Amino acid sequence: MQSDRVVVIGAGIGGLVAALLLAARGLAVTVVERAEGPGGKMREVTVGGARIDAGPTVFTMRWVLDEILAEAGTRLDDHLALRPAALLARHAWDDGSRLDLFAEIDRSADAIGDFAGAAEAAGYRAFCARAQAVYRALECSFLRGPRPSPVSLVRRAGLGGVRDLLNASPFVLLWDALGEHFADPRLRQLFGRYATYSGSSPFAAPATLMLIAHVEQEGVWLVEGGMHRVARTLATLAEARGATFRYGANVTEIVTERGRAAGVVLATGERIAGEAVVCNADVAALAAGLFGAAAARAVAPGGDAVPSLSAVTWTLCARATGFPLPRHSVFFAPDYAAEFEAIFARGRLPAEPTVYVCAQDRDDEATGPDGPERLLVLVNAAPTGDRAPPSPQEIASCEQATFARLARAGLTLEPAAEPVVTTPAGFARLFPATGGALYGRAVHGWRASFRRPGATTSLPGLVLAGGSVHPGPGVPMAAMSGRLAAAAVLADLASTRRFHRAAMPGGMSMR
């Protein structure tokens, strides 16, 4: 009999994973989502009748979902068709130079040698070894477990792991660390881009973010049917285990009774009771009081937090010619420092943006369909969508600069239908109280990662999940946050003697 009820606010990846795991343990789970379907930032839009991914486009660390689905009694391969990508990304500069990175280190080193010389190829190999060491140092002590403090992180690592933690370069800026490996400014620019994966600037983020290079070398996967299918699959699996989904339902308050979370109230006035609440909204929405005063007090105010990057995106169905697009391509601006200075110091769109293009109908062969194809074009932007959003004139200027950069590389796009353009103001409407920031707080400085809240809050029964909480943004990190949230709910209910099946099979190890 389902006697313990849990309300999950938000059907983003963190909320979907929490719902799936809790429903698989026999709890009565209701997921309440203000949008009309699951996914959160893993969204999908329709252009000219084509359904196009307009959120995350890279699937890594597949072992995270392998283990989560195993806990739910099924297999990832039974629900999603994945194939590994050999070509990670193609990179282009205004001077006409190009460089491909591959999943195999040797292939990438050979390409870098041809691109910039033997010394840079050797620097790349040393960089890869360092990235692997950083990942190994942080995998168990930071990524897998509940949010640590600096002291508890050292305690988890043990005496033998303290040196490894220090070697992870937490006090060194990523840009400076890259200078130890690469003399060619184009290579520093390329690998500095890893900071943007967490919505941060390579000139302010710690060198620990180089671990993303190792994550990609461990495997980047192409999802048949697109990334949004991951979200729909998790929702379907949760429903099969008894979870109920309420779409188009906006939560206005997290209810408290006797000092603990006791359900939610919808904008319609309807109340949904629960013994626990998992909030998969951005922490900024909680802190801003969008779910009531009691919930706002349950999280630390984030007044000193630097919001992460926002974006301007163009989702297109277009004919692409003149440049051999693989699945992922990056077209770099000439002045990287000026780009991030405009965004983080002045809160403006960069005059010369770096442009990312995801060609969703292509693979390693860079051969496109005979006709219009599905494309996502993205540039980084300041998270000012709810206070000082770019004007229509600024958006138009950004669009001109963006597509001019593509044209200089030889890429011509001929839209077959009107593109869908999403600006920081649009993202702020989709994700209230964020300003359009897409990754929670920026990882600027060594303390930033420790300032993300963990799953538990000061309000008993209220648990957090999503990319704005520990362990951070990105699909696998958000999925891990959902797993940690589920464990926190089970532990909380066990402590109140309402639920006695608190342990998940295999515990919380994610190996």
What is the three-state SS of 95-163? Answer: CCCEEEEECCHHHHHHHHHHHHCHHHHHHHHHHHHHHHHHHHHHHHHHHCCCCCCHHHHHHHHCHHHHH
d(CA 100, CA 109): 10
| 212 domain residue, yes or no | yes
Structural domains in the chain (count): 3
CB hemisphere CA count around 104 (13 angstroms): 5
| 500 domain residue, yes or no | no
| 284 domain residue, yes or no | yes
Looking at 187, 218, 249, the residue that finishes a domain is 218
Helix (H) or strand (E) holding 19: helix 13-24
Same domain, 202 and 145: yes
d(CA 481, CA 472): 8
What is the pLDDT, as a whole number, of residue 153? 58
d(CA 24, CA 476): 20
Pairing relation of β-strands 59-60 and 276-279? Answer: unpaired
Same domain, 323 and 296: no
| Regions of the chain with pLDDT less than 70 | 1-3, 149-170, 302-303, 497-511
- CATH code assigned at 469: 3.50.50.60
The pTM assigned to this predicted structure is: 0.93
For residue 223, give the 3-state DSSP assignment: strand
| 436 domain residue, yes or no | no
Tokens of 40: 């959160």
CA distances from 354 to 400, 403, 434, 450 (A): 13, 11, 23, 29
d(CA 38, CA 283): 19
For residue 393, give the 3-state DSSP assignment: helix
Pairing relation of β-strands 244-247 and 59-60? Answer: unpaired
What is the pLDDT, as a whole number, of residue 156? 63
Same domain, 340 and 371: yes
- Its domain, for residue 340, covers 309-430
Which backbone phi and psi does 236 adopt, to 5 degrees?
A: -65, -40
| 194 domain residue, yes or no | yes
Same domain, 372 and 462: no
Same domain, 415 and 355: yes
Same domain, 269 and 293: yes
Same domain, 300 and 449: yes
Same domain, 341 and 409: yes
Same domain, 320 and 425: yes
Same domain, 248 and 321: no
What is the pLDDT, as a whole number, of residue 157? 58
Same domain, 114 and 138: yes
Choose among 353, 372, 349: nearest CA to 361.
Answer: 372
The angle that helices 185-192 and 105-116 make with each other, rounded to 10 degrees, is 140
What is the pLDDT, as a whole number, of residue 503? 43
CA distances from 149 to 447, 454, 468, 474 (A): 9, 10, 17, 21
Sign for the CA dihedral angle at 89, 234, 503, 453 comes to positive
